[in-house]
C-alpha cells in the first residue's frame, strides 16, 4: 500500500495477496519495506528475466544475461537476503544456476505451447495503474501491478517458480491475482481492447527439485477463469484492507494474524520476528511425545 505525493493510495496486487494470506503481515510489509524477500523469490526474479527477454524477441544468450543481471545486484546488496526458504545451501552461483534450469524447462515445455496457441505477440511485463474509486476527501484509491504476458487472446499468463505443483482448484477458489489482472485487462490496461468477461488467467509454473540442484526441473500450465463477479469480490477485499488501515491504523498491531497458515513461520515470513516471533520461540513449536506413566 503506497501513498503518492498527492495523497492518493495505490495498492500493489502482490500486497493485496499478502493481506489476504495474513493481514498483519501486509501491515508489517508496508511499515518495513526494507526487510526484503527470500532466496526463492530472488530465484523467481531471475527466471522471470529470462522469460521476459524471450517474449520480447530477445535471444537465448540475452535471456541468460538477463537472468544474471536480475539476480546478482539484489544478492550483492544483501537487503533481499534476509531468510532462506530452500532446503539446500544457497549462494549466488546456485541461485543463478537454478534460475537458468527453471528457464530451460520453460523454453522446452511452456514456450512451444504459447507459440502454438498464438499467445505471443504483445509486449511482456506490462505495468498497469488503474483507479478503483474516489474517497470522500477527494483522494483516489487504485490498484497497480505488472502482467508477465498479456496475450492477443482473451487470456493473461503469469510466470511462477516453486518447489511443488500448484493445485488448480485452490487457485480457482482463492487466488486474487487473476481477478485483479482480469479486471485491469477489461479496462484497457494492457495496450489492447479485446479483453472481455469471462477471462482466462494461466499460471505458467516452473517447478524446481526439492533437494537436488541437478534434479528434475519441470513445468505446468494451470488455468483459472474469472468473471466480473470475481472482480467485485476482489474489490470487497480491498475495502476490508482500507477499513483496517483507516480505522485501526498502520502503527497499531492488527488483530487478524493467520497463525494457522504454514506461511506463519520464521522460514517463510520476513516479518515473523516482529509478530508471533516476539512472543514464541521456535522451540515452542517442537513436536512432543505422548506422556507415559513411569
CATH at residue 127: 3.90.320
Give the model's pLDDT for residue 210. 81
87 domain residue, yes or no: yes
- pLDDT tens digits for range 112-136: 999 999 999 999 999 999 998 888 8
- Please report the beta strands in the chain, taking only residues with DSSP state E, as ranges in sequence order: 2-3, 9-12, 126-134, 140-147, 149-150, 155-162, 199-207, 218-226
Helix, strand and coil in the chain, % to nearest 5: 45, 20, 40
205 domain residue, yes or no: yes
Which of 15-24, 173-182, 253-262 has the lowest average pLDDT?
253-262
**Residue 30 in this model has a pLDDT that exceeds 70:** yes
d(CA 226, CA 201): 7
Residue predicted with more confidence, 284 or 134: 134
Cell numbers representing residue 26 in the block: 501486509
Give the model's pLDDT for residue 257. 59
How many CA within 13 A on the CB side of residue 1? Answer: 26
25 domain residue, yes or no: yes
Which residue range forms the structural domain that includes residue 136? 2-248
Q: Are 263 and 36 in contact (CB under 8 A)?
A: no
The answer for residues whose C-beta is within 8 angstroms of residue 140's C-beta and 6 or more apart is 8, 9, 131, 132, 133, 134
293 domain residue, yes or no: no
Give the model's pLDDT for residue 15. 86
Q: Helix H segments across 56-212?
A: 60-77, 92-105, 111-116, 168-174, 177-186
Q: For helices 23-31 and 13-21, what crossing angle results, to 10°?
A: 130
- pLDDT tens digits for range 253-263: 766 656 656 66
255 domain residue, yes or no: no
206 domain residue, yes or no: yes
Percent of the chain with pLDDT over 70: 89
Residue with cell 537487503: 79
Give this prediction's pTM: 0.86
213 domain residue, yes or no: yes
Domain count, the chain: 1
d(CA 239, CA 103): 38
How many of the other CB atoms lie within 10 Å of CB of 80?
19
11 sits in the region (left: phi over 0; alpha: psi -120 to 50; else beta) called: beta
Give the model's pLDDT for residue 271. 77
263 domain residue, yes or no: no
Amino acid at each position: 500500500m503506497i501513498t503518492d505525493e498527492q495523497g492518493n493510495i495505490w495498492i500493489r496486487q502482490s500486497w493485496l495477496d499478502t493481506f489476504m494470506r495474513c493481514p498483519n503481515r501486509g501491515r508489517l510489509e508496508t511499515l518495513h519495506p526494507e526487510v526484503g524477500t527470500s532466496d526463492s523469490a530472488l530465484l523467481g526474479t531471475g527466471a522471470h528475466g529470462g522469460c521476459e527477454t524471450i517474449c520480447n524477441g530477445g535471444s537465448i544468450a540475452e535471456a541468460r544475461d538477463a537472468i544474471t543481471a536480475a539476480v546478482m545486484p539484489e544478492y550483492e546488496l544483501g537487503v533481499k537476503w534476509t531468510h532462506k526458504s530452500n532446503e539446500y545451501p544457497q549462494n549466488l552461483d546456485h541461485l543463478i544456476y537454478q534460475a537458468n534450469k527453471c528457464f530451460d524447462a520453460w523454453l522446452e515445455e511452456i514456450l512451444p505451447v504459447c507459440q502454438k496457441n498464438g499467445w505471443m505477440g504483445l509486449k511482456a511485463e506490462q505495468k498497469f495503474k488503474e483507479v478503483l474509486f474516489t474517497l470522500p476527501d477527494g483522494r483516489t484509491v487504485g490498484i497497480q501491478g505488472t502482467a508477465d504476458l498479456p496475450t492477443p487472446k482473451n487470456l493473461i499468463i503469469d510466470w511462477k517458480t516453486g518447489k511443488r505443483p500448484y493445485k488448480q482448484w485452490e487457485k480457482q477458489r482463492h487466488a486474487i491475482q487473476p481477478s485483479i489482472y482480469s479486471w485491469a485487462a477489461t479496462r484497457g490496461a494492457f495496450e489492447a481492447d479485446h479483453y472481455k468477461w469471462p477471462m482466462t488467467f494461466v499460471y505458467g509454473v516452473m517447478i524446481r527439485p526439492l533437494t537436488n540442484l541437478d534434479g528434475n526441473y519441470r513445468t505446468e500450465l494451470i488455468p483459472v477463469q474469472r468473471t466480473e463477479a470475481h472482480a467485485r469480490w476482489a474489490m470487497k477485499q480491498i475495502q476490508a484492507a482500507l477499513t483496517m488501515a483507516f480505522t485501526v491504523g498502520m502503527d497499531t498491531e492488527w488483530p487478524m494474524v493467520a497463525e494457522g497458515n504454514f506461511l506463519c513461520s520464521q522460514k517463510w515470513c520476513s516479518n515473523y520476528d516482529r509478530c508471533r516471533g516476539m512472543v514464541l520461540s521456535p522451540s515452542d513449536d517442537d513436536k512432543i511425545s505422548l506422556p507415559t506413566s513411569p
